[in-house]
């Protein structure tokens, strides 16, 4: 009897395509591990089209690197099945997120799983995806946008209820952050390459606190130093830029460079210019939009952060001599939008930024 069951199971497994072929994956996903695809960046995930009455998946949170204060968080995913309301799921304490749907109406169904939490929360691995039958997945959108940035790009704290809350996976919603809102408004596929607290020439510094005595190597790296990676904590996971080429790249960096003091014009401008040149090298036909970060002239004191960042980023863009590199500014902040965790933008603010960026891309790209 046991032998018969084993034979049936083996035949069933043989009929299933390889795990990475059962769905369309989006974002920077690593396929080098035989155990299953690995995802770190926010807005990564997969979409599967199946036939039958059931579907299930299992995602594992891989070992984590604590932040400078020794904290770790579980990953958060949004799960969408057909026209059902999206489910917000957090990987439980045992590190394994198991989801299933059964007794479905016979016929086709679409399952999409979207990583809400950002790269510093950790790497997640899809280890199981099962259905009665897998159908060819829907094609990816033709338009492509890459979004490079920091906490504004990741949606840090956008579901927080006040400036006094701190980071948690429960308050980070990339689906409703401006990058994903913009992509959906333009019917575009998008990649998010962003990490809260990181900058161009240097990372976030709290002007009221001394820097940590020691850092995990990943914490010391800037965005330009991890830009070429599929899994930012794995130096061997080099991203293949030929695999996915964006039509437009939006760079939203600089807030953390100037968080405590002036980073210095020469250091910042040259590093920023070099980073944009690297992006251009990988994407020779893309329009590149350099966003002035949403900092204020009033903080830090006597730094005039917004005016300084506008001057620095404009100077860096001009030195490139590239007519397809643009400097853009965000709409003024509205106090009525409130503040999310640690003074970050709320969902209302993200929606306004998305509308502004959508209009800019429609103009620049003729979309």
In this predicted structure, what is the pLDDT of residue 2? 45
Q: What is the C-alpha to C-alpha distance for residues 228 and 225, in angstroms, rounded to an integer?
A: 7
Q: What is the pLDDT of residue 130?
A: 97
Report pLDDT for 212.
62
Tokens for 210? 């001394």
- pTM for the model stands at 0.93
Nearest-angstrom CA–CA distance, 171 and 341? 8
**Of the candidates 166, 348, 342, the residue with the CA atom closest to the CA atom of residue 259:** 342
Residue 180, classified by CB atoms within 10 Å of its CB into exposed (0-12), middle (13-18) or buried (19+), is: buried
Q: Going residue by residue through the chain (367 aa), what tens digit of pLDDT does each one get?
A: 545 434 444 444 556 788 999 999 999 999 999 999 999 999 999 999 999 999 999 999 999 988 777 889 999 999 999 999 999 999 999 999 999 999 999 999 999 999 999 999 999 999 999 999 999 999 999 999 999 999 999 999 999 999 999 999 999 999 999 999 999 999 999 999 999 999 999 999 866 666 665 567 788 899 999 999 999 999 999 999 999 999 999 999 999 999 999 999 999 999 999 999 999 999 999 999 999 999 999 999 999 999 999 999 999 999 999 999 999 999 998 999 999 999 999 999 999 999 999 999 999 999 9
Cα–Cα nearest to 173, from 77, 108, 109, 305: 77
Gap between the Cα atoms of 159 and 142, Å rounded: 30
| Sign of the dihedral through C-alpha 163, 167, 173, 177 | positive
Phi–psi pair at 161, nearest 5 degrees: -100, -10
Q: Are 352 and 337 in contact (CB under 8 A)?
A: yes
What is the secondary structure of 107-162 as a DSSP string?
A: SEEEEEEEE-S-GGG--EEEEEEEEEEEEPPPPPPSEEEEEEESHHHHTTTTT-SS
Match 């770790």 to its residue by tokens. 72
d(CA 259, CA 252): 14
DSSP assigned state of 105: P
Residue-level pLDDT at 256: 97
3-state SS record for 44-86: CEEEEEEEEEEEEEEEEECCCCCCCCCCCCCCEEEEEECCCCC
Max CA separation in the chain (angstroms): 79
Q: Sketch out the chain's domains with CATH numbers.
A: 19-135 (2.60.120.260), 143-365 (3.40.50.1110)
pLDDT for residue 217: 79
CB 334 within 8 A of CB 118: no
* Residue among 77, 75, 27 nearest 229 (CA): 27
């Amino acid at each position: 009897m046991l032998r018969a069951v084993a034979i049936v199971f083996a035949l069933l497994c043989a009929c299933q395509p390889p795990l990475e072929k059962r769905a369309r994956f989006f974002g920077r996903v690593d396929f080098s591990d035989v155990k299953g695809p690995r995802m770190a960046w926010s807005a990564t995930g997969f979409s599967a089209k199946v036939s039958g009455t059931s579907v299930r998946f299992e995602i594992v949170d891989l070992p984590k690197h604590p932040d400078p204060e020794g904290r770790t968080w579980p990953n958060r995913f949004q799960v969408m099945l057909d026209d059902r309301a999206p489910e917000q799921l957090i990987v439980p304490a045992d590190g394994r997120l198991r989801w299933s749907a059964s007794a479905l109406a016979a016929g086709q169904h679409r399952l999409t799983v979207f990583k809400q939490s950002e790269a510093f929360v950790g790497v997640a691995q899809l280890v199981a995806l099962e259905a009665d039958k897998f159908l060819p997945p829907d094609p990816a959108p033709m338009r492509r946008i890459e979004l490079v940035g920091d906490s504004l790009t990741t949606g840090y704290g956008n579901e927080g209820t006040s400036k006094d809350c701190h980071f948690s996976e429960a308050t980070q919603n990339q689906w409703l952050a401006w990058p994903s809102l913009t992509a959906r408004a333009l019917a575009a596929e998008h990649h998010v390459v962003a990490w809260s607290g990181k900058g161009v020439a240097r990372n976030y510094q709290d002007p009221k606190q001394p820097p940590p005595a020691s850092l995990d190597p990943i914490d010391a790296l800037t965005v330009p130093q991890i830009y070429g990676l599929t899994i930012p904590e794995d130096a061997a996971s080099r991203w293949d830029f030929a695999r996915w080429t964006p039509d437009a790249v939006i760079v939203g960096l600089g807030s953390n460079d100037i968080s405590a003091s002036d980073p210095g014009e020469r250091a910042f401008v040259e590093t920023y210019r070099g980073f944009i040149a690297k992006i251009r090298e990988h994407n020779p036909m893309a329009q590149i939009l350099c966003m002035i970060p949403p900092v204020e002239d009033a903080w830090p004191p006597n730094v005039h952060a917004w005016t300084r960042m506008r001057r620095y980023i404009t100077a860096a863009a001009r030195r490139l001599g590239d007519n397809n590199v643009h400097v853009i500014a965000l709409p003024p902040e509205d106090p009525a939008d409130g503040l999310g965790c640690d003074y970050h933008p709320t969902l209302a603010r993200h929606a306004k930024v998305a509308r502004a960026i959508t209009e800019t891309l429609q103009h620049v790209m003729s979309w």
